[in-house]
Protein backbone atom coordinates (compact mmCIF):
# COMPACT_ATOMS: atom_id res chain seq x y z
CA UNK A 1 0.00 0.00 0.00
CA UNK A 2 1.32 3.45 -0.91
CA UNK A 3 1.93 5.69 2.09
CA UNK A 4 0.10 8.52 0.27
CA UNK A 5 -2.80 6.58 -1.26
CA UNK A 6 -6.19 6.93 0.43
CA UNK A 7 -7.08 4.37 3.08
CA UNK A 8 -10.27 2.63 1.93
CA UNK A 9 -12.76 2.18 4.75
CA UNK A 10 -15.54 -0.32 4.07
CA UNK A 11 -18.87 0.53 5.63
CA UNK A 12 -22.52 -0.38 5.41
CA UNK A 13 -24.69 2.07 3.49
CA UNK A 14 -26.98 3.03 6.37
CA UNK A 15 -26.83 6.60 7.67
CA UNK A 16 -25.69 5.37 11.10
CA UNK A 17 -22.92 3.17 9.68
CA UNK A 18 -21.71 6.03 7.47
CA UNK A 19 -21.78 8.45 10.40
CA UNK A 20 -19.76 6.26 12.75
CA UNK A 21 -17.36 5.34 9.95
CA UNK A 22 -16.96 9.04 9.22
CA UNK A 23 -15.88 9.70 12.80
CA UNK A 24 -13.23 6.98 12.56
CA UNK A 25 -12.13 8.16 9.12
CA UNK A 26 -11.54 11.70 10.39
CA UNK A 27 -9.50 10.53 13.38
CA UNK A 28 -7.48 8.03 11.33
CA UNK A 29 -6.71 10.58 8.61
CA UNK A 30 -5.30 12.96 11.20
CA UNK A 31 -3.11 10.20 12.64
CA UNK A 32 -1.91 8.69 9.36
CA UNK A 33 -1.57 11.94 7.43
CA UNK A 34 -3.47 10.36 4.56
CA UNK A 35 -7.01 10.73 3.23
CA UNK A 36 -9.54 8.06 4.23
CA UNK A 37 -12.34 7.34 1.77
CA UNK A 38 -15.56 5.47 2.55
CA UNK A 39 -16.38 2.42 0.44
CA UNK A 40 -20.11 1.60 0.80
CA UNK A 41 -20.89 -2.13 0.95
CA UNK A 42 -24.34 -3.73 1.17
CA UNK A 43 -24.71 -6.29 3.97
CA UNK A 44 -27.31 -9.04 4.29
CA UNK A 45 -28.81 -7.13 7.19
CA UNK A 46 -29.50 -4.21 4.86
CA UNK A 47 -31.35 -6.29 2.25
CA UNK A 48 -33.12 -8.98 4.31
CA UNK A 49 -36.13 -7.32 5.92
CA UNK A 50 -37.20 -10.34 7.95
CA UNK A 51 -37.33 -10.11 11.73
CA UNK A 52 -33.97 -10.47 13.49
CA UNK A 53 -35.58 -12.98 15.83
CA UNK A 54 -36.48 -15.12 12.79
CA UNK A 55 -33.31 -14.90 10.70
CA UNK A 56 -30.82 -14.69 13.59
CA UNK A 57 -28.25 -11.98 13.95
CA UNK A 58 -24.91 -13.79 13.84
CA UNK A 59 -22.84 -12.08 11.17
CA UNK A 60 -25.82 -10.66 9.30
CA UNK A 61 -24.31 -7.15 9.30
CA UNK A 62 -20.66 -8.23 8.98
CA UNK A 63 -20.21 -11.18 6.61
CA UNK A 64 -20.34 -9.41 3.25
CA UNK A 65 -18.17 -6.58 4.54
CA UNK A 66 -15.57 -9.08 5.69
CA UNK A 67 -15.64 -10.79 2.31
CA UNK A 68 -14.92 -7.44 0.67
CA UNK A 69 -12.01 -6.82 3.05
CA UNK A 70 -10.44 -10.22 2.38
CA UNK A 71 -10.91 -9.69 -1.36
CA UNK A 72 -8.95 -6.44 -1.18
CA UNK A 73 -11.87 -4.15 -2.01
CA UNK A 74 -11.13 -2.09 1.10
CA UNK A 75 -8.34 -1.77 3.67
CA UNK A 76 -10.31 -1.56 6.92
CA UNK A 77 -13.86 -1.99 8.21
CA UNK A 78 -15.76 -0.20 10.95
CA UNK A 79 -18.42 -2.25 12.74
CA UNK A 80 -20.80 -1.68 15.59
CA UNK A 81 -19.18 -4.12 17.98
CA UNK A 82 -22.49 -5.53 19.14
CA UNK A 83 -23.09 -6.82 15.58
CA UNK A 84 -19.86 -8.83 15.37
CA UNK A 85 -19.83 -12.61 15.94
CA UNK A 86 -17.47 -13.61 18.74
CA UNK A 87 -15.55 -16.05 16.51
CA UNK A 88 -12.89 -14.19 14.54
CA UNK A 89 -11.89 -15.32 11.03
CA UNK A 90 -8.19 -16.29 11.18
CA UNK A 91 -7.24 -13.84 8.44
CA UNK A 92 -8.78 -10.81 10.23
CA UNK A 93 -8.03 -8.85 13.38
CA UNK A 94 -9.80 -6.16 15.37
CA UNK A 95 -6.97 -3.62 15.18
CA UNK A 96 -8.62 -0.93 17.32
CA UNK A 97 -11.53 -0.33 19.66
CA UNK A 98 -11.96 3.44 20.03
CA UNK A 99 -13.31 4.84 23.30
CA UNK A 100 -16.85 3.66 23.93
CA UNK A 101 -19.71 6.14 24.04
CA UNK A 102 -23.06 5.88 25.87
CA UNK A 103 -23.97 2.17 26.09
CA UNK A 104 -27.55 2.74 27.30
CA UNK A 105 -30.83 2.15 25.55
CA UNK A 106 -33.39 4.95 25.35
CA UNK A 107 -37.16 4.93 25.05
CA UNK A 108 -38.53 7.42 22.52
CA UNK A 109 -42.10 8.66 23.00
CA UNK A 110 -44.23 11.58 21.85
CA UNK A 111 -45.08 12.94 25.30
CA UNK A 112 -42.36 11.70 27.67
CA UNK A 113 -44.44 9.07 29.44
CA UNK A 114 -42.02 6.59 31.10
CA UNK A 115 -42.00 3.10 29.64
CA UNK A 116 -43.56 1.47 32.71
CA UNK A 117 -46.38 4.05 32.74
CA UNK A 118 -47.50 3.69 29.12
CA UNK A 119 -51.16 2.82 28.88
CA UNK A 120 -52.33 -0.76 28.45
CA UNK A 121 -52.05 -1.88 24.84
CA UNK A 122 -49.43 0.73 23.89
CA UNK A 123 -47.40 -0.34 20.85
CA UNK A 124 -43.65 -0.43 21.53
CA UNK A 125 -41.35 -1.08 18.61
CA UNK A 126 -38.16 -3.14 18.78
CA UNK A 127 -36.75 -6.10 16.86
CA UNK A 128 -34.10 -7.34 19.30
CA UNK A 129 -35.00 -10.40 21.41
CA UNK A 130 -33.14 -8.92 24.39
CA UNK A 131 -35.12 -5.67 24.25
CA UNK A 132 -38.36 -7.56 23.65
CA UNK A 133 -37.83 -9.57 26.84
CA UNK A 134 -36.89 -6.43 28.78
CA UNK A 135 -39.97 -4.55 27.56
CA UNK A 136 -42.17 -7.47 28.60
CA UNK A 137 -40.68 -7.26 32.09
CA UNK A 138 -40.82 -3.48 32.44
CA UNK A 139 -44.18 -2.93 30.69
CA UNK A 140 -46.08 -6.25 30.60
CA UNK A 141 -49.30 -4.42 29.79
CA UNK A 142 -47.88 -3.06 26.51
CA UNK A 143 -47.79 -4.66 23.06
CA UNK A 144 -44.37 -5.32 21.48
CA UNK A 145 -44.18 -4.68 17.73
CA UNK A 146 -41.28 -6.40 15.97
CA UNK A 147 -39.75 -3.77 13.68
CA UNK A 148 -36.73 -3.26 11.39
CA UNK A 149 -35.49 -0.14 9.66
CA UNK A 150 -33.16 2.79 10.14
CA UNK A 151 -33.33 5.25 13.01
CA UNK A 152 -35.24 7.92 11.09
CA UNK A 153 -37.94 5.48 9.96
CA UNK A 154 -38.41 4.26 13.53
CA UNK A 155 -38.68 7.79 14.88
CA UNK A 156 -41.19 8.60 12.12
CA UNK A 157 -43.46 5.76 13.25
CA UNK A 158 -43.63 7.32 16.73
CA UNK A 159 -44.19 10.81 15.33
CA UNK A 160 -47.04 9.56 13.14
CA UNK A 161 -48.74 7.71 16.00
CA UNK A 162 -48.22 4.31 14.39
CA UNK A 163 -46.18 3.37 17.48
CA UNK A 164 -46.34 4.75 21.00
CA UNK A 165 -42.64 4.19 21.64
CA UNK A 166 -39.47 2.69 20.20
CA UNK A 167 -36.34 1.43 21.95
CA UNK A 168 -33.07 2.66 20.44
CA UNK A 169 -29.39 2.78 21.35
CA UNK A 170 -28.25 6.10 22.80
CA UNK A 171 -24.96 5.74 20.92
CA UNK A 172 -26.68 5.60 17.54
CA UNK A 173 -28.73 8.71 18.22
CA UNK A 174 -25.61 10.55 19.37
CA UNK A 175 -23.48 9.52 16.38
CA UNK A 176 -26.23 10.53 13.97
CA UNK A 177 -26.73 13.85 15.70
CA UNK A 178 -30.43 13.14 15.38
CA UNK A 179 -32.65 16.10 16.20
CA UNK A 180 -36.26 15.45 17.11
CA UNK A 181 -39.07 16.93 19.17
CA UNK A 182 -39.76 13.47 20.57
CA UNK A 183 -38.99 12.71 24.22
CA UNK A 184 -36.18 10.46 25.47
CA UNK A 185 -36.09 8.26 28.55
CA UNK A 186 -32.59 6.98 29.31
CA UNK A 187 -32.64 3.47 30.76
CA UNK A 188 -30.08 2.86 33.49
CA UNK A 189 -27.61 0.06 32.86
CA UNK A 190 -28.08 -1.40 36.34
CA UNK A 191 -31.75 -2.17 35.68
CA UNK A 192 -31.59 -2.38 31.88
CA UNK A 193 -28.20 -3.77 30.78
CA UNK A 194 -27.56 -3.76 27.06
CA UNK A 195 -25.99 -6.01 24.42
CA UNK A 196 -22.31 -7.01 24.64
CA UNK A 197 -20.31 -4.31 22.88
CA UNK A 198 -23.13 -1.77 22.65
CA UNK A 199 -21.80 1.77 22.28
CA UNK A 200 -18.41 0.53 21.05
CA UNK A 201 -16.89 0.30 17.58
CA UNK A 202 -14.49 -2.24 16.11
CA UNK A 203 -11.96 -1.29 13.44
CA UNK A 204 -11.07 -4.46 11.58
CA UNK A 205 -8.34 -5.24 9.06
CA UNK A 206 -6.36 -8.20 7.76
CA UNK A 207 -3.64 -9.81 9.87
CA UNK A 208 -1.11 -9.09 7.11
CA UNK A 209 -2.04 -5.42 6.77
CA UNK A 210 0.89 -3.02 6.24
CA UNK A 211 2.77 -2.16 9.42
CA UNK A 212 2.18 1.57 8.98
CA UNK A 213 -1.58 1.02 8.79
CA UNK A 214 -1.59 -1.19 11.90
CA UNK A 215 0.49 1.41 13.75
CA UNK A 216 -1.94 4.19 12.83
CA UNK A 217 -4.94 2.09 13.86
CA UNK A 218 -3.27 1.28 17.18
CA UNK A 219 -3.45 4.97 18.08
CA UNK A 220 -7.26 4.76 17.95
CA UNK A 221 -7.23 2.09 20.66
CA UNK A 222 -8.80 2.69 24.09
CA UNK A 223 -7.58 0.05 26.54
CA UNK A 224 -10.46 0.33 29.00
CA UNK A 225 -12.95 -0.16 26.18
CA UNK A 226 -11.04 -3.18 24.88
CA UNK A 227 -10.96 -4.78 28.33
CA UNK A 228 -14.67 -4.17 28.94
CA UNK A 229 -15.83 -5.53 25.59
CA UNK A 230 -13.48 -8.51 25.94
CA UNK A 231 -15.30 -9.47 29.15
CA UNK A 232 -18.70 -8.96 27.56
CA UNK A 233 -17.95 -10.91 24.40
CA UNK A 234 -16.40 -13.74 26.41
CA UNK A 235 -19.71 -14.05 28.25
CA UNK A 236 -21.55 -14.21 24.92
CA UNK A 237 -19.11 -16.81 23.59
CA UNK A 238 -19.30 -18.84 26.79
CA UNK A 239 -23.08 -19.00 26.53
CA UNK A 240 -22.62 -20.31 22.96
CA UNK A 241 -25.37 -18.16 21.45
CA UNK A 242 -25.55 -15.51 18.75
CA UNK A 243 -25.52 -11.78 19.28
CA UNK A 244 -29.33 -11.67 18.97
CA UNK A 245 -29.92 -13.87 22.04
CA UNK A 246 -32.14 -12.53 24.86
CA UNK A 247 -29.14 -11.68 27.02
CA UNK A 248 -27.29 -8.59 28.18
CA UNK A 249 -23.77 -7.98 29.45
CA UNK A 250 -22.11 -4.74 30.42
CA UNK A 251 -18.69 -4.28 31.97
CA UNK A 252 -17.17 -1.12 33.45
CA UNK A 253 -13.41 -0.86 34.01
CA UNK A 254 -12.15 1.22 36.91
CA UNK A 255 -8.42 1.12 37.53
CA UNK A 256 -7.43 -2.49 38.08
CA UNK A 257 -10.96 -3.84 38.49
CA UNK A 258 -13.97 -4.47 36.31
CA UNK A 259 -17.61 -4.60 37.36
CA UNK A 260 -19.68 -7.02 35.30
CA UNK A 261 -23.44 -7.14 35.05
CA UNK A 262 -24.94 -9.91 32.94
CA UNK A 263 -28.51 -11.14 32.56
CA UNK A 264 -30.14 -13.90 30.53
CA UNK A 265 -33.88 -13.42 29.99
CA UNK A 266 -36.70 -15.81 29.34
CA UNK A 267 -38.02 -14.70 25.92
CA UNK A 268 -41.44 -13.86 27.35
CA UNK A 269 -39.79 -11.69 29.99
CA UNK A 270 -41.12 -13.65 32.94
CA UNK A 271 -37.84 -15.16 34.13
CA UNK A 272 -34.31 -13.86 34.35
CA UNK A 273 -30.96 -15.12 35.61
CA UNK A 274 -28.29 -12.56 36.37
CA UNK A 275 -25.06 -11.76 38.14
CA UNK A 276 -23.28 -8.61 39.30
CA UNK A 277 -19.62 -9.10 40.22
CA UNK A 278 -16.44 -7.05 40.52
CA UNK A 279 -13.13 -8.72 39.64
CA UNK A 280 -9.45 -7.77 39.42
CA UNK A 281 -7.97 -7.39 35.93
CA UNK A 282 -4.38 -8.15 36.94
CA UNK A 283 -3.01 -5.07 35.19
CA UNK A 284 -1.98 -2.87 38.08
CA UNK A 285 0.47 -5.14 39.85
CA UNK A 286 4.02 -3.71 39.94
CA UNK A 287 7.05 -5.32 41.54
CA UNK A 288 10.59 -4.06 42.09
CA UNK A 289 13.44 -5.78 40.29
CA UNK A 290 16.50 -7.09 42.07
CA UNK A 291 18.20 -3.70 42.36
CA UNK A 292 15.14 -2.09 43.92
CA UNK A 293 15.48 0.87 41.56
CA UNK A 294 13.15 0.02 38.70
CA UNK A 295 9.50 -1.04 38.56
CA UNK A 296 8.39 -3.66 36.09
CA UNK A 297 5.05 -5.29 35.34
CA UNK A 298 4.56 -8.53 37.26
CA UNK A 299 5.65 -11.63 35.37
CA UNK A 300 2.80 -13.20 33.45
CA UNK A 301 0.41 -10.27 33.91
CA UNK A 302 -1.98 -10.30 30.94
CA UNK A 303 -5.09 -8.21 31.57
CA UNK A 304 -6.70 -9.19 28.25
CA UNK A 305 -6.45 -12.88 29.06
CA UNK A 306 -7.75 -12.12 32.54
CA UNK A 307 -10.69 -10.26 30.97
CA UNK A 308 -11.51 -13.30 28.81
CA UNK A 309 -11.28 -15.56 31.85
CA UNK A 310 -13.61 -13.28 33.83
CA UNK A 311 -16.17 -13.36 31.02
CA UNK A 312 -15.88 -17.12 30.59
CA UNK A 313 -16.33 -17.62 34.33
CA UNK A 314 -19.40 -15.39 34.33
CA UNK A 315 -20.92 -17.41 31.50
CA UNK A 316 -20.33 -20.67 33.38
CA UNK A 317 -21.98 -19.23 36.49
CA UNK A 318 -25.03 -18.19 34.46
CA UNK A 319 -25.25 -21.65 32.91
CA UNK A 320 -24.93 -23.31 36.32
CA UNK A 321 -27.96 -21.27 37.40
CA UNK A 322 -30.01 -22.60 34.46
CA UNK A 323 -29.51 -19.90 31.83
CA UNK A 324 -29.36 -22.49 29.03
CA UNK A 325 -33.08 -23.08 29.46
CA UNK A 326 -33.73 -19.49 28.25
CA UNK A 327 -31.36 -19.47 25.29
CA UNK A 328 -31.91 -20.53 21.67
CA UNK A 329 -29.24 -22.79 20.23
CA UNK A 330 -27.80 -21.94 16.82
Can you give the length of the chain in residues? Answer: 330
Beta strands in 105-213 (DSSP E): 105-109, 123-125, 143-145, 165-169, 183-186, 201-206
DSSP state of 103: -
83 is catalytic: yes
Note the helical H segments in the chain: 15-32, 44-47, 52-55, 63-70, 129-138, 151-159, 170-176, 211-218, 223-239, 303-320
In contact, 17 and 25? CB cutoff 8 Å = no
Q: Side-chain half-sphere of 317: how many Cα atoms within 13 Å?
A: 17
Strand pairing category for 165-169 and 123-125:
parallel
How many whole angstroms separate alpha carbon 260 and alpha carbon 1?
41
CA distance 59 to 245: 13
Catalytic pick among 75, 83, 102, 164: 83
The residues carrying an active-site annotation are 83
Amino acid sequence: MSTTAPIRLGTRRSALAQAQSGHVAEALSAIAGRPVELVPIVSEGDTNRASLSEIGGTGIFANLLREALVAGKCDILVHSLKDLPTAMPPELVIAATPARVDARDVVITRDGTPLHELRTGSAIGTGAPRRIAQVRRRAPHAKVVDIRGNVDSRLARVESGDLDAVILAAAGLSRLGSESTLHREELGLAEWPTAPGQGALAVETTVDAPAELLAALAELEDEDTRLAITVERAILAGLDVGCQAPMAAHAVVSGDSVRVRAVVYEPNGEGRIGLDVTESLNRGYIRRNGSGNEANAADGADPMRTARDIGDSAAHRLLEQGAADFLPRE
